[in-house]
Amino acid sequence: MKKRLAYQACYAVAALWALPHAAHAAGIATVVDVVNEGYRIPPGASEITAKAADELVQNEGLRTKEESAIQVRFVDGSQLSVEESSEMVLSDYVFDGAAASGLINLNNGLFHFTSNGKPDQGVKLRTPVATIGVRGTEFLVHVDGDDATIIDILSGAVSAQPHGTGKEITCFEGQSILIASPDDDAICGDIGSFSTAAGPGQNDGPKGGQKGGDKEKDEKERELPDFGRDPDPQPEPEPCDCR
């Protein structure tokens, strides 16, 4: 009996000793830089200020305030920038020495991801409306809470699968993806076709990247009178030589 208790006590001490070492071994990313006000929420702990060189673990959250950002480098060399007024959780991420895999939840805000040429096909970025597949690329993601998600592809290719009945799509460098809701099909358009992560749309075309603007609105505008112009202009009389 005494031997059994002694064994259980030793086991408990060993387990307690292993906890901080296990947390250290589970490190999946490092904070590279913090601009202004950035915070992290370790699993099971209260929110604390994020600082450069902080190690991040699975299920750790990150949050930024206005005019702030947190830049993160994963153990495989890929990078994620959490831009201003954004929130995310490093839900699951594994690097086995050859490739990374796992899930990162982007809850709200603007994010800039680059794989830096690493094999990140196993990494998924999840927003409230869709799951984003990475294919060796660089892209921006604008997450409007539970509403639309927009992806601007700067290089490589990205796939987007809506969570509901919407159909998946794959788009490429120079394009944007719009996922309006879980039940809407994901659609491609040129960068700037939507109100994008890169800024306001470059045209006022309808959703889906179609250019040319709102046809019905244009027709109505053409029907309105132009008060600065003679609606039925007459040809000017030929000049006469009255001498």
| Residues 220, 222, 223, 227, CA torsion sign | positive
121: enclosing H helix or E strand: none
DSSP assignment of 130-176, as one string?
A: EEEEEEEEEEEEEE-TTS-EEEEEEEEEEEEEESSSPPPEEEETTEE
- Three-state DSSP at 122 gives strand
Residue type, 221: E
Q: What is the mean pLDDT of residues 154-170?
A: 95
Q: What is the pLDDT of residues 43-61, one digit of tens each?
A: 999 999 999 999 999 999 9
**Whole-angstrom distance, CA of residue 189 vs CA of residue 149:** 14
Which residues neighbour 216 within 8 Å (Cβ) at sequence distance 6 or greater?
Answer: none
Q: What is the mean pLDDT of residues 68-75?
A: 95
Count the neighbouring beta carbons within 10 Å of the beta carbon of residue 54: 20
Query: 27-211 in CATH: which number?
Result: 2.60.120.1440
Q: What is the pLDDT of residues 183-214, one digit of tens each?
A: 999 999 999 888 754 444 444 433 333 333 34
Phi first, then psi: give them for residue 30, nearest 5 degrees: -130, 140
Q: Where are the domains of the chain?
A: 27-211
Structure tokens at 14: 């060993």
